[in-house]
Amino acid sequence: MELGQSSYPRRKTRQIMVGDVPVGGDAPITVQSMTITKTADVDGTLQQIYDLAMAGCDIVRCTCNEIEAAEGLARIVPRSPVPIVADIHHNHRMALAALEAGVHCLRLNPGNIRKPEHIKLVAQVAKDRGVPIRIGVNGGSLHPDLYKRHGGKVTPEAMVESAQMELAYFDEVGFEDVKISVKASSVPLMIEAYRQLSDAVDHPLHLGVTEAGPMPGGLIKATAGIATLLAEGIGDTIRYSLTADPVEEARAGRALLEAMGLRERKNVDLIACPSCGRAEIDVIEVARQAQEAFGEREIPLQVAVMGCVVNGPGEARDADLGIAAGNKKGHLFVRGQNVAVVPEDQMVDALVEWATFINDHGLDAAFERARSTREQARREAERDRAALAGAHGDDVNRSEQRVELIRKMG
């Protein structure tokens, strides 16, 4: 297995098209997010959609809760860089208005639009227009009848039944262009609901932990739920529901898929040591500066920031590029080989410059570039490594002294 490649066999689902983005089948797993602007604010919403697309979002959802929002969608759709999904909750007329606005997909919550004739009418119009629908079951807004029937509790079975009831209405009008989500704020509940749903249907599944909350807890909950399912081969599109700037949702979704080897790397994968008593720099601050400097630059390399030259280059030898601090210097290394030494205050600039060079010209060109500097860089790294190892002592825990003391206690 190649480093960074996925080894999770994916469950087979049928494929639908959301605008020009395929979802399901063998299509890449996509990242979704949702705008938090008023949809009637066309320019503000478009700005957020562009920011989301830049951050790696493939599909964006906007609320369509009032007629002004539907009017906004009519103006947003033709200017959006990614397909637009209209989020519909209580009023089926908003779904019809959103279809009229030209959206690429609808999201219906079966717990909120309950009249069969309304559901079937929306499905019929969506079918006529060739627009798919996501059945978005939400544990918090389950149909009251289902809630009662399942013992007054939100259960995985109740959530799956909700999706199947909606599917049955769609079947009546011959509408099959469907993806489904069964989100809950409880991670174990959503995991089990998706497992059962995946066994029951072959529609593409949209994964998410709803109302996951602010970071870092929300990020951890969403990752726990989504990653568990992806590792089981379940899921065709994902959304992090964070109480945060939606751009963070898109970044998180993209980062998860890249980390699991399910999408190709788009931006820098910044790794950094956690720091320890050996650190020669403020690793947290330098890593933050590096993250900011790389921003959304499309440089698909793994770049390491390491706190000391004693262990840094070795621990990050698989990174494409890295820098380790030592004796007020930054020791640059490419795939574990020292290539240059820069002053400590130029570490971040050097990382960005070398990463850009490698991205433009390749690793071989980087080694060629380092031909005149690498021998000196290696010697300086050796010297600083030896000096620092001596300064801190090879044995940072002073084990022998401790052992002596413990023996005396015996």
What DSSP line would sit under 308-327, residue for residue? -TTTHHHHTTTSSEEEEEET
Q: What value, to the nearest 5°, has the Cα angle with vertex 49 and ends 136 and 17?
A: 50
- Least separation in angstroms between residue 151's CB and ligand SF4 is 51
Asked if residue 124 binds ligand SF4 (CB under 6 A), the reply is no
- Least separation in angstroms between residue 237's CB and ligand SF4 is 37
Contacts of 132 (CB under 8 A, 6+ apart): 16, 17, 18, 104, 105, 106, 126, 177, 178, 179
- Least separation in angstroms between residue 278's CB and ligand SF4 is 4
Amino acid at 242: L
State the helix-helix crossing angle for 187-200 and 156-172, rounded to 10 degrees.
40
Asked if residue 311 binds ligand SF4 (CB under 6 A), the reply is yes
Asked if residue 71 binds ligand SF4 (CB under 6 A), the reply is no
Asked if residue 331 binds ligand SF4 (CB under 6 A), the reply is no
- Least separation in angstroms between residue 133's CB and ligand SF4 is 50
- Beta carbons of 7 and 34 less than 8 angstroms apart: no
Which one among 139, 204, 312, 322 touches ligand SF4, defined by CB under 6 A? 312
Amino acid at 289: Q
- Least separation in angstroms between residue 279's CB and ligand SF4 is 4
Which one among 171, 315, 344, 349 touches ligand SF4, defined by CB under 6 A? 315
Asked if residue 273 binds ligand SF4 (CB under 6 A), the reply is yes
Asked if residue 183 binds ligand SF4 (CB under 6 A), the reply is no
Amino acid at 94: M
Which one among 91, 124, 164, 275 touches ligand SF4, defined by CB under 6 A? 275
Amino acid at 232: E
Which one among 119, 257, 279, 319 touches ligand SF4, defined by CB under 6 A? 279
Q: What is the DSSP letter of 6?
A: -
- Beta carbons of 190 and 225 less than 8 angstroms apart: yes
Which span sits near ligand SF4 by CB under 6 A: 114-122, 173-181, 252-260, 304-312?
Answer: 304-312
Which span sits near ligand SF4 by CB under 6 A: 5-13, 35-43, 113-121, 306-314?
Answer: 306-314
What DSSP line would sit under 114-149, residue for residue? --HHHHHHHHHHHHHHT--EEEEEEGGG--HHHHHH
Q: Closer CB to ligand SF4, residue 69 or residue 310?
A: 310
Which span sits near ligand SF4 by CB under 6 A: 82-90, 144-152, 235-243, 275-283?
Answer: 275-283
The CB-side HSE value for 132 (13 A sphere, CA atoms) comes to 25
The CB-side HSE value for 193 (13 A sphere, CA atoms) comes to 33
List, in sequence order, every residue forming a beta bridge with 105; answer none if it has no partner: 85
Which one among 265, 278, 329, 331 touches ligand SF4, defined by CB under 6 A? 278
Distance CA 208, CA 269 (A): 23
- Least separation in angstroms between residue 314's CB and ligand SF4 is 9
- Beta carbons of 154 and 147 less than 8 angstroms apart: yes
**Position of minimal CB gap to ligand SF4:** 307
According to the 3-state scheme, what is the secondary structure of 361-404? Answer: HCHHHHHHHHHHCHHHHHHHHHHHHHHHHHHHCCCCCCHHHHHH
Asked if residue 34 binds ligand SF4 (CB under 6 A), the reply is no
Which one among 307, 322, 326, 330 touches ligand SF4, defined by CB under 6 A? 307
Q: Closer CB to ligand SF4, residue 48 or residue 302?
A: 302
Asked if residue 327 binds ligand SF4 (CB under 6 A), the reply is no
- Least separation in angstroms between residue 393's CB and ligand SF4 is 13
Which span sits near ligand SF4 by CB under 6 A: 149-157, 253-261, 307-315, 356-364?
Answer: 307-315
Asked if residue 393 binds ligand SF4 (CB under 6 A), the reply is no
Under the rule (CB under 6 A), what is the footprint of ligand SF4? 273-276, 278-279, 306-308, 310-312, 315
